Structure 1
Amino acid sequence: MRRDEFLKSIAALAAAGALPLSARAAANLKMMIPANPGGGWDTTGRALGKALQEAKVADSVTFDNKGGAAGALGLAQFVNGSKGDPNALMVMGAVMLGGIITGKPPVSLSQATPVARLTSEYNVFVLPANSPFKTMADVVAQLKKDPGSVKWGGGSRGSTEHIAAAMIATKVGVDPSKINYVAFRGGGEATAAILGGNVTVGGSGYSEFSEYINAGKMKAIAVTSPQRLKGVNVPTLKEQGIDVELGNWRGVYGAPGITAAQRAALTEAVLKSLNTKSWKESLEKNDWTPAVLSGPAFDKFVDDEFAQLRAVMVKAGMV
């Protein structure tokens, strides 16, 4: 093959997304973050964007925050606005699945393209620093006395902290449909409400509240992990006699309608970024547990999670 013919062939393959990542120029990636700034998805998306550039699989990464409805608003914008775009990514996770189950949005996650699960994180429940309550036992006692008087603050309806609150109510003998859950569109709003004493108890990933816990502005009273988190002296719900354990995983999806080769290239780029120094620093800084999964295994995982979350939510009276 003549050199000019070879170069034309390479260009055609690159345009089709059929070349291995190492043979193509780094892309200008677009990252949809379906939440307001300040929360777990925002932190994850921006950390991943930095890692993609450090791994030299992206020349640049631009971010678009679109919060609301447990990620459904961002999902709709992503599905409708990114069709066939091999350089588009969207952060998602367990919260989005819960929101889709409760909210029944007009678009489906199955319209987008699975890329990879990245991390898992357990939730922490906190009290405002000036709360009259001191422990989860105090909160439970008030919950049993008057369920509506306990305002639970967290992410959108169907989030893992919402599901955990309903599970706690069920386990302590309170009708979960009577819990007073206040949903916020992003971690920043939820944090402000807790710091301002506008909710009784707040829930989120530990990384979102850690600086306020360490500064004494929030009091951590329970984590949803099976054992205490490493280096974190906060009791689990289980050791307090409440048999609830729930993880909050996060991942990324690609745009609808991309080819199998484009999906493979995007997956390769994401997986390569997870080996960078900056990503490993983000894992440590945010107390994220690596939970990498891609390909058909990730597809099956999401399907199974949908079924399991729906079962829990129906039993808890949330659907």
Structure 2
Amino acid sequence: MKHFAVGALLLGAMSLPALADYTLIAPANPGGGWDQTARTMQEVMQAEGISPSVQVVNVPGAGGTIGLAQFASQNSGNADALIVGGYVMVGAILTNNAPVSLADVTPIARLTGEYEAIVVPASSPIQTIGDLAEALKADPGAVSWAGGSAGGTDHIAVGLIAKAAGVDPTKINYIAFSGGGEALAAILGSQVTAGVSSLGEFQAQVEAGTLRLLAVSSEERLPGVDAPTLKEAGLDVVLQNWRMVAAAPGLSEEQKAKVTADIEKLAKSKGWQDQLTAKGWVDTYLSGAEFDAQLAEDIAATEAVLKDIGLVK
């Protein structure tokens, strides 16, 4: 009986699916939202026992499209490879007329959403979002903005702010950086007038008093955030940056289901929920056919906005 019991246990253990060692591409330099998302996924997936090993690899450039192209070409059929993407990547694909798009990989799930924040250095004479809007109206080119990649959420936010202020959005002086760390250094060094990025990327510096938070792009004021919305300031702009994870192209249905199950475990874990709270990320988890439909809608809406503010013809 003992032999039978041990044999049954061994047989049961052998039939359990092996845990995957994942390689996770963050298609930007360290310090930005994609990098933060990837490293948070790494930490939680390992801590929660979803994967024994998650390796994060940074492949920066062109709003994530360089990393996306490399990922798609090198990983066909590889169920252990993942890439972080989102709104910024959708915009960059359109503005760069990139040869590779999200149609060339296997979208798995939307994970988080985060609102945009507009900041200036603490030493700036600009005290309010109203002051910044007035400066923009007076001379759009004299107001320089640091943000992420051209055509991404940050760029779109500045274009929408300009349009809401009655300024030609094609006249804005937007300086694109490939990583959040580089943009932050330019803002802190007063090399630009203002900065725009997801709130979480500025939070530590705002709390430390080195940056002044002027406004956020949410519909209503955010709990615990001492700043008005753009709408409160008379600028009718609401914008949320969402982030997603995709798998490689060429996966079987069984492989896709396994990856989706792992990402669902991540999204529903206590460790992930704790990180969302700590970082101020909104839980926007969505997968399967619903996510595929939402992604198609988001791509169409992003293209419409980019045309509206003159970034895509």
Fold match, TM over 0.5?
yes
Shift of 1:147: 0.6
Choose from 121, 124, 128 the match for 2:117: 124
Which position in structure 1 is the counterpart of 2:177? 184
For residues 47 and 92 of structure 1, the distance between their equivalents in structure 2, rounded to whole angstroms, comes to 14
- Is contact 1:54-1:273 (8 Å) kept? no
Which position in structure 2 is the counterpart of 1:20? none
Counterpart check, 1:175 vs 2:168: yes
Shift of 1:97: 0.4
Choose from 224, 227, 232 the match for 1:234: 227
For residues 174 and 273 of structure 1, the distance between their equivalents in structure 2, rounded to whole angstroms, comes to 43
- Is contact 2:140-2:172 (8 Å) kept? yes
For residues 46 and 276 of structure 1, the distance between their equivalents in structure 2, rounded to whole angstroms, comes to 16
Which position in structure 1 is the counterpart of 2:272? 279
Letter in structure 1 aligned against 2:306: M
For residues 254 and 143 of structure 1, the distance between their equivalents in structure 2, rounded to whole angstroms, comes to 41
- Is contact 1:35-1:65 (8 Å) kept? yes
Shift of 1:276: 2.5
Runs of 5+ consecutive residues of structure 1 not aligned to the other structure: 15-22
- Is contact 2:93-2:100 (8 Å) kept? no
Dislocated runs of 4+, deviation >3 Å? none
3-state SS of the aligned residue for 1:167? helix
Runs of 5+ consecutive residues of structure 2 not aligned to the other structure: 1-6
For residues 111 and 66 of structure 2, the distance between their equivalents in structure 1, rounded to whole angstroms, comes to 22
Which position in structure 1 is the counterpart of 2:252? 259
Trace 1:143-162 onto structure 2 (pairs within 5 A): 143-162=136-155
Choose from 284, 290, 293 the match for 1:300: 293
3-state SS of the aligned residue for 1:114? strand
Which position in structure 1 is the counterpart of 2:77? 84
3-state SS of the aligned residue for 1:244? coil
TM-score by length of 1: 0.92
Shift of 1:54: 2.4
For residues 48 and 289 of structure 2, the distance between their equivalents in structure 1, rounded to whole angstroms, comes to 24
Higher mean C-alpha deviation, range 135-144 or range 207-216: 135-144
Which position in structure 2 is the counterpart of 1:198? 191
For residues 273 and 172 of structure 1, the distance between their equivalents in structure 2, rounded to whole angstroms, comes to 41
Trace 1:55-70 onto structure 2 (pairs within 5 A): 55-70=48-63
Query: For residues 73-108 of structure 1, what are the alpha-carbon distances to aligned partners after superposition, in whole Å with 9 as ceiling and x for unaligned?
Result: 110111111111001110011010011110111212
Query: For residues 199-249 of structure 1, what are the alpha-carbon distances to aligned partners after superposition, in whole Å with 9 as ceiling and x for unaligned?
Result: 111011111100000111000001000011111111000011110000001
3-state SS of the aligned residue for 2:108? strand
Letter in structure 2 aligned against 1:88: A
Choose from 131, 137, 144 the match for 2:130: 137
3-state SS of the aligned residue for 2:170? helix
3-state SS of the aligned residue for 1:238? coil
Query: For residues 98-128 of structure 1, what are the alpha-carbon distances to aligned partners after superposition, in whole Å with 9 as ceiling and x for unaligned?
Result: 1111011121211100111111000100001
Shift of 1:39: 0.8
Shift of 1:145: 1.1
Which position in structure 1 is the counterpart of 2:106? 113
- Is contact 2:48-2:271 (8 Å) kept? no
- Is contact 1:274-1:280 (8 Å) kept? yes
3-state SS of the aligned residue for 1:267? helix
Which position in structure 2 is the counterpart of 1:18? none
Choose from 35, 42, 45 the match for 1:42: 35
Shift of 1:132: 1.7
Which position in structure 1 is the counterpart of 2:215? 222
Count of paired positions: 303
Percent identity between the aligned chains?
47
TM-score by length of 2: 0.94
Letter in structure 1 aligned against 2:278: K
3-state SS of the aligned residue for 1:143? helix
Choose from 19, 43, 46 the match for 1:26: 19
Query: For residues 270-299 of structure 1, what are the alpha-carbon distances to aligned partners after superposition, in whole Å with 9 as ceiling and x for unaligned?
Result: 110123332122101110010010001111
Choose from 259, 284, 297 the match for 1:291: 284
Query: For residues 253-285 of structure 1, what are the alpha-carbon distances to aligned partners after superposition, in whole Å with 9 as ceiling and x for unaligned?
Result: 000101111111101001101233321221011
